[in-house]
A and B are shown apart, each in its own frame.
Chain A
Amino acid sequence: MSARRLNAAGVVFVSVVMAGGCSGGGSDAIQIGLNLELTGDVPKVGEHSRVAAEMFVEEVNSAGGLDVGGEMRQLELTIEDNGGTAEGAAAAAAKLITQDEVLLLVGPNASVAAVPAGEIANNEATLMISPWSTNPATTLNRPWVFRAPFLDTFQGPVLANFATNEFGAEAACVLYDVASDAPVGQAENFISRWRELHGPDSVVAIETFTTGDRDFSAQLTNVGASGCEVFFVPQYYNEVPLIVEQAHAQGLAMPILGTDAWGDPQLLELCGSDCDGYYFSNHYVASGATGATAEFIEDFKERHGEEPSDVGALTWDSMRLAAQAVQNCGTLTGTLVDDRTCVRDGMAEITDFDGVTGQMSFDEQGDPIKCAVIVRIEDSAVTFHDSVCP
């Protein structure tokens, strides 16, 4: 008897979902879809992204809305959790685009989510802006997908050049997570550039670990024995302190370099003074920021209790880019297909956009042409060291 009721409930359930597939939507507000990693491997990425987006929407709405061709329109966010997986990202993208009928998408951030989501956005002719994905495949040959950060192909060589010039180093070591998208890409790009500069045997130790490992002693022992002059660790802010602590415990004294994956404010809190004297590349520098950037940082800090990570800053810029795209479009007719095309064209028109993460224009692939900053850690603070532009 109970099984029958269960079955009946199931039928009702399925029909409700199916029926939902035929529903339309319509309200005056501009619907923006957020496809975020709220659970899974990198929940903090999703969290900061969400906070930055919500902050932007609140700010715009409380000022009366977004001025679209003379009309003031409110912004509305629809947030879906993609769980940090490819399947979740695809499902969330499909839902946001076809079910929730959003005007455009912001996110996902992680490349393993952004690449499949971008496929769906591209097929469904909907603009998608990824705030954080650095894998070239996200935007490659996809006229509907754009991104805010610079690519791995840019960042790796930047650091290789920097290390050569700053330290006069000839031999380098690399430690990275073999199971993680961005570190693999950045390591590969760094290594190939280093070999271009210093010869085929100049990377004297290439060590790897798997996501979730905490004990790097074995790999660090190998690094210590290799005699390299500079150590490249393109890992995340919550792994770097462990790596650095263990490296110091083994007596490794060479300078350690990182990428924007170090760029979370918690890095300093978790690392303490261990990380002093090290460098990493990033999108912007929080300390010494002025104007709109400083305001953004202060507001975020007030709202969430900590400074924004690079994901937060990039999401802020992505939202502003989205708003700019809508404004460039000029008029929203109400027909979703036309509006989405109009907004996408508005996005492609953007040049010399002033973001908190730097000034950017977009190339044909939808990738930004922007500069990276190299920052130095000193006295548990991050200070500007150099700027590198393409």
Chain B
Amino acid sequence: MGWETFLQHVLNGMQLGSFLALIAVGYTMVYGVLLLINFAHGDVFMVGAYGGMFIGLFLLGAYDMHLPFGLPAWTILPLTILLTMVVTSAVGVTIERVAYRPLRRKGANRLYLVITALMFGLLLEHANLAVLGARDRQFPDLFAKRTFDLGGVSVTNVRILVIVISFVAMGLVGYLVQRTRWGMAMRAISYDRLAAPLMGISVDRVIVGTFVVGACLAALAGVMYGTAFPILRYDMGLLVGWQAFIAAVLGGIGSIRGAVVGGYLLGFIQVLVVASPLPSTFRDLITFSILMAILVLRPTGLFGVARRTKV
């Protein structure tokens, strides 16, 4: 394999990994505070992509009802992302309020929360199908796409943007979690749920905040995904959602750093299996066997903390 081909594959893996990492972080944050696998998260990502599409089209003036003034081209992407974050946060918070909080109050076994999450995911998907119909939707070009040739390796500006924006976003989240009081509250809750309120932490508010952050990341991922792969389907959240969940657990669920590493690891494994001389039909088989092997060797994921339980 030539040098250029290898670099090409590395870039492919980086992009795929970025998407998985962004969504995996959302999974892991909610898990950290609630011990809940929010299976609806993949569909929140779908809402982000569709929301970004509608908002983007609106901002670009594609609809009859549009803004009375034109917007400079470079503002469209950031505005779309911000507005989409509002939409997905609303969805995420609604799910938390309507489904998770009542069940938490009743002290339901967390596995019932998981089932509720799954059901919400199904609901979102099929509500989309019922309301918007079966036509595939096209994500608008929020900025001009260009391809550069760097010494035999073709790079699109989309790919660079995805990787850069993902790093920035995850850096921000890391800062938020490690360096702010809110982040400290979040970490406190994940260490000890019972002691946190005793320390004056409003658990409910922090939880809502967690959902908001997770949903914002999902919105970002949705918009960038729509930009990179402009054809949207109602079930687009399914596969990406499950893979991101696997990435989050692989990295050690509850650990944000783990989710990021897990996401990139999964992305790279998938790309490299295809790049290898093995026939690409074996991709899933090999990828998931590697995953299983990693989990057998490190049963709590790469960065997971083995929880000590007092007997």
Contacts and interface: CB of A to CB of B under 8 A. Distances in A.
Judged by CB atoms under 8 Å, the answer to whether A and B touch is yes
Interface of A: 39, 41, 43-44, 46-47, 178, 206-210, 212-215, 217-219, 221-222, 225, 238-239, 241-242, 245, 248-251, 266, 269-270, 306
Given A217-B11, A225-B1, 16 more contacts: A39-B126, A44-B135, A44-B136, A208-B280, A210-B284, A212-B236, A214-B228, A214-B229, A214-B231, A218-B9, A218-B270, A218-B274, A241-B231, A242-B230, A266-B136, A270-B136
Name the residue in A46, A208, A217, A222 with the highest tally of chain B Cβ atoms < 10 Å from its Cβ: A217
A238 B231 contact: yes
Contacts of A221: 5, 8-9, 12, 275
A215 B149 contact: no
Nearest to A236: B136
Contacts of A46: 134
Interface residues of B, number: 41
A242 B139 CA distance: 12
A306 to B, nearest CB: 7
A47 to B, nearest CB: 4
Interface string B267-299: 000110011000111011000000000000000
Contact of B154 (A207, A213, A249): A249
A39 B129 contact: yes
Given A208-B281, A214-B229, A221-B275, A238 B5 contact: no
Interface in B110-157: 126, 129, 133-136, 138, 147, 149, 154, 156
9 contacts: A43-B129, A208-B280, A210-B284, A217-B9, A221-B12, A225-B1, A245-B230, A251-B149, A270-B230
Contacts of A251: 149, 154
A47 B5 contact: no
Nearest to A269: B138
Nearest to B138: A270
Mostly, the B contact residues are helix
B198 to A, nearest CB: 37
B129 A249 contact: no
Contacts of B225: 214
Contact of A238 (B129, B228, B233, B284): B233
A183 to B, nearest CB: 12
A211 to B, nearest CB: 8
A146 to B, nearest CB: 26
Contacts of A213: 239
B156 A249 contact: yes
A218 B6 CA distance: 10
B236 to A, nearest CB: 8
Interface in B212-258: 225, 228-231, 233-236, 238-239
A321 B12 CA distance: 49
A266 B135 CA distance: 8
Given A210-B283, A269-B138, A270-B231, A218 B12 contact: yes
Most A CB contacts (10 A, CB to CB) among B11, B12, B270 go to B12
A272 B264 CA distance: 32
A210 B125 CA distance: 20
A46 B134 CA distance: 9
Nearest to B158: A249
B2 interface: yes
A249 B156 CA distance: 7
A269 B8 CA distance: 29
A215 B238 contact: no
B15 interface: yes
A215 B231 CA distance: 12
Which of B2, B230, B274 has its CB near the most chain A CB atoms (within 10 A)?
A: B274
B133 A47 contact: yes
Nearest to A218: B274
A249 B283 CA distance: 23
Contacts of A212: 235-236, 238-239
B95 interface: no
A44 B134 contact: yes
A173 B138 CA distance: 28
Nearest to A40: B235
B85 to A, nearest CB: 22
B16 interface: yes
Interface string B48-70: 00000000000000000000000
**In this complex, which of A209, A221, A225, A269 has the most chain B Cβ atoms within 10 angstroms of its Cβ?**
A221
B147 A249 contact: yes
A214 B284 CA distance: 15
A44 B284 CA distance: 27
B135 A242 contact: no
Nearest to A46: B134
A43 B134 contact: yes
